[in-house]
């Protein structure tokens, strides 16, 4: 007897429109901003997040926190996407941009309640943005990117509020050295690709002070045969993107043999092909052969007799970095290898065991355009947080190379912009005046949050700042803002 079918009706969420949708979007964005508000400043608190797999995330990085938050509201998703974009483009300031965006949206709610059309509000916001950029350009000063002292002091400001502040000098040197290593010039344009060519290797154990930037590449691989050399000075390196084994059929290969001799001959043909490839490699007299594919036992035997060390199944990204470090060219076919493809820029090849794993080092390179940052620390969680902080420091160093301008921090820029916008608002006529002043008020959220996170009296400090603004010019005001915020710290 057939059972009565059961129908499950999925009711769609209530559709919102008009003022109700606007208020809902602003509330969602404000909620996201409030989640990470306590993560701003030198006295910021860390967030401990438990992921679905049981891992622990301990960080005060805004983007790292928002990545782990699962939200359904479209406006909240847009805020998280804003944080991700800020992280990709600038590398730092993910917490500040979310807090600032949330406050501007909160200030716009009062303008909507005055029945000002959203188009007018957006127009006023764009004018405020143009004015704010002009103010920032006025108070900025140039910085010499070749001056180590200035660069280290600038990078230090980006990690002064992070977990690694205790080791800020070390981390700043690591970030600056890594950025300068991977910086290249092509057709007059400077390229600094830290994500591709400055790889961070985290090895638990040891002390954080043992972290260093290697003049070369380090990969988590061991040689294929235990009798191969593990220490070679000034090695000749060949990089391959092809297997050193008999080529198998693409999908399915059937072979029928009627005689035993035919089977033996087929085996011999395979061996001859592998030996021929190895002989072609041996002719170039390499010391190290690295391939992204496999190496058969026969190939290992032949290369071992020629005193050549081999590493197999290297990742494509690692192989590209090795090529830039040692000056080699990755070859797709053994038959195409030429003397010019052999890398000779490496000073030392060695394989070491760190902890329970083997690592291959190609260091002391003459002019490496790629590097590896070796991070040591007591645990994986701490290393992950150090990695995030170091990525921010490297991003700041990279940005300064492209735009060598410096503005004061600690909420000074935001207060200067707020003062400038209030002055400019006197010339803005009509209904756009209200939204224009709302942006000026929203800018105060950064120094207010800094003071609150430091345990200070936000009303008292902001009142002092406004009184200074009434007595002094903008340039002097920025200096006084900077001093007061430091005093609160």
The one catalytic residue in 95, 181, 291, 360 is 95
Name the one residue in this structure whose structure tokens are 């939200």. Answer: 71
3-state secondary structure of 56: strand
Helix (H, G, I), strand (E, B) or coil at 454: coil
Catalytic-residue membership of 329 = no
Q: Is the pLDDT of residue 469 over 70?
A: no
Does residue 11 form part of some domain?
no
Residue 261 lies in a domain: no
Residues 420 and 289 in one domain: no
Residue 350 near residue 223 (C-beta atoms within 8 A): no
Question: Of 137-146, 183-192, 216-225, 402-411, where does mean pLDDT reach its minimum?
Answer: 183-192
Spot the catalytic one: 61, 92, 318, 341.
Answer: 61
Judgement on whether residues 136 and 31 belong to the same structural domain of the protein: yes
**SS3 at position 240:** strand
| Active-site choice (87, 222, 287, 392) | 392
Calculate ∠ Cα 201-359-170, nearest 5°. 35
pLDDT the model gives residue 311? 93
Mark whether 312 and 441 lie in a shared domain: no
Q: Is 94 a catalytic residue?
A: yes
Do 316 and 448 share a structural domain? no
Q: Do both 347 and 414 map to the same domain?
A: no
Tokens of 461: 């400090």
The 10s digit of each residue's pLDDT in 114-130 is: 888 889 989 999 999 99
Domain end (from 316, 336, 367): 367
Which residue out of 59, 87, 92, 94 is catalytically annotated? 94
Any domain includes 393:
no
Segments forming the whole domain that contains residue 423: 18-141+410-488
338, 367, 396: which is the final residue of a domain?
367
Position 117 scores a pLDDT of 87
Residue 484 pLDDT grade (very low, low, confident, very high; cuts 50, 70, 90):
very low
242 within some domain: yes
Q: Looking at the domain assignment, is residue 378 inside a domain?
A: no
Q: Is residue 59 part of a domain?
A: yes
Rounded CA separation 34/42 (Å): 18
For range 189-200, the mean pLDDT: 84
Give yes or no for residue 4 having a pLDDT over 60.
Answer: no
Residues in the chain, overall count: 489
353-357: long-range pairs with CB below 8 Å, 24+: 354/203, 354/205, 355/203, 355/204, 355/205, 357/220
Q: Same domain, yes or no, for 339 and 416? A: no
Instruction: Give the chain's domain count.
Output: 2
Residue 7 lies in a domain: no
Note the pLDDT tens digit of each residue in 412-450.
888 888 888 888 888 888 888 888 889 988 988 888 888
CATH of the domain at 439: 1.10.560.10
Say if 396 falls within a structural domain. no
The SS3 call for residue 235 is coil
Report helix, strand or coil for 194.
helix
> Among residues 335, 350, 367, which one ends one of the domains?
367
Percent of the chain, pLDDT > 90? 18
> Quick check: 162 and 389 in contact, CB under 8 A?
yes
Same domain? 340 vs 431: no
Residue with tokens 């990709």: 88
Residues 418 and 477 in one domain: yes
Token pair belonging to 138: 């006025």
Helix (H, G, I), strand (E, B) or coil at 354: strand
Same domain, 223 and 362: yes
Tokens representing 277 are 């490839």
Q: List pLDDT tens digits, range 320-341.
A: 999 999 989 999 988 888 999 9
What CATH number is associated with residue 319?
3.50.7.10
Say if residue 190's pLDDT is above 80. Answer: no
- The answer to whether the CB of 115 falls within 8 A of the CB of 371 is no
Tens-digit pLDDT profile for residues 253-284: 777 777 777 777 777 777 888 888 888 889 98
CA atoms of 372 and 202, how far apart (whole Å): 10
- At 21, the pLDDT band (50, 70, 90 cuts) reads confident
* Co-location of 355 and 439 in the same domain: no
**What are the residue ranges of helices labelled H in 193-315?**
194-197, 260-283, 297-305
84-86-88-89 Cα dihedral, nearest 10 degrees: 160
Does residue 290 register a pLDDT over 90? yes
351 and 227 fall within a common domain: yes
Using 50, 70 and 90 to split pLDDT, how confident is the model at 475?
very low
Q: List pLDDT tens digits, range 28-55.
A: 888 888 888 888 878 878 888 887 777 7
Whether residues 229 and 324 share a domain: the answer is yes
């Amino acid at each position: 007897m057939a059972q009565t079918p059961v129908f499950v009706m999925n009711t769609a969420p209530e559709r919102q429109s008009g003022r109700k949708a606007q208020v809902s979007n602003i509330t969602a964005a404000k909620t996201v901003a409030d989640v990470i508000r306590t993560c701003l400043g030198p006295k910021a608190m860390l967030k401990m997040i438990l992921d679905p797999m049981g891992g622990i995330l301990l960080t005060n990085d805004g983007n790292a926190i928002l990545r782990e938050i699962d939200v359904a509201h479209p406006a909240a998703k847009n805020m998280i996407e804003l944080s991700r974009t800020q992280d990709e483009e600038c590398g730092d300031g993910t917490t500040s941009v979310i807090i600032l965006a949330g406050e501007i949206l909160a200030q716009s709610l009062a303008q909507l309640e005055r029945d000002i059309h959203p188009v007018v509000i957006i127009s006023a916001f764009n004018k405020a943005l143009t004015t704010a950029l002009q103010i920032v350009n006025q108070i900025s000063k140039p910085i010499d990117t070749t001056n180590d002292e200035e660069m280290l002091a600038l990078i230090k400001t980006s990690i002064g509020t992070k977990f690694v502040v205790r080791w800020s000098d070390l981390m700043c040197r690591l970030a600056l050295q890594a950025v300068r290593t991977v910086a290249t010039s092509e057709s007059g344009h400077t390229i600094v690709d830290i994500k591709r060519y400055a790889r961070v290797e985290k090895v638990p154990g040891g002390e954080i002070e043992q972290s260093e930037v290697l003049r070369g590449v380090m990969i988590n691989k061991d040689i294929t045969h235990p009798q191969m050399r593990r220490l070679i000075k000034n090695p000749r390196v060949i990089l391959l993107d092809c297997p050193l084994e008999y080529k198998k059929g693409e999908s399915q290969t059937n072979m029928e043999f009627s005689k035993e001799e035919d089977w033996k001959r087929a085996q011999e043909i395979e061996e001859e092909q592998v030996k021929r490839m190895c002989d072609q490699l041996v002719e170039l007299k390499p010391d190290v052969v690295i391939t992204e594919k496999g190496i058969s036992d026969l190939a290992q035997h032949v290369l071992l007799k020629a005193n050549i060390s081999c590493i197999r199944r290297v990742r494509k990204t690692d192989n590209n970095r090795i090529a830039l470090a040692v000056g080699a060219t990755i070859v797709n076919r053994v038959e195409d290898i030429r003397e010019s493809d052999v890398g000779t820029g490496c000073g030392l090849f060695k394989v070491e065991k760190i902890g329970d794993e083997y690592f291959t080092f190609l260091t002391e390179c003459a002019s490496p355009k790629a590097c590896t940052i070796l991070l040591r620390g007591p645990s994986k969680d701490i290393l992950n947080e150090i990695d995030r902080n170091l990525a921010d420091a490297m991003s700041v160093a990279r940005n300064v190379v492209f735009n060598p301008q410096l503005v004061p921090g600690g909420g000074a820029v935001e207060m200067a912009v707020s003062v400038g916008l209030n002055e400019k608002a006197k010339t803005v006529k009509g209904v756009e005046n209200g939204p224009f002043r709302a942006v000026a008020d929203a800018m105060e959220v950064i120094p207010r949050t800094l003071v609150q996170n430091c345990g200070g009296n936000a009303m008292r400090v902001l009142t002092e700042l406004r009184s200074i603004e009434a007595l002094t010019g903008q340039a002097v005001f920025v200096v006084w803002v900077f001093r007061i915020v430091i005093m609160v710290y």
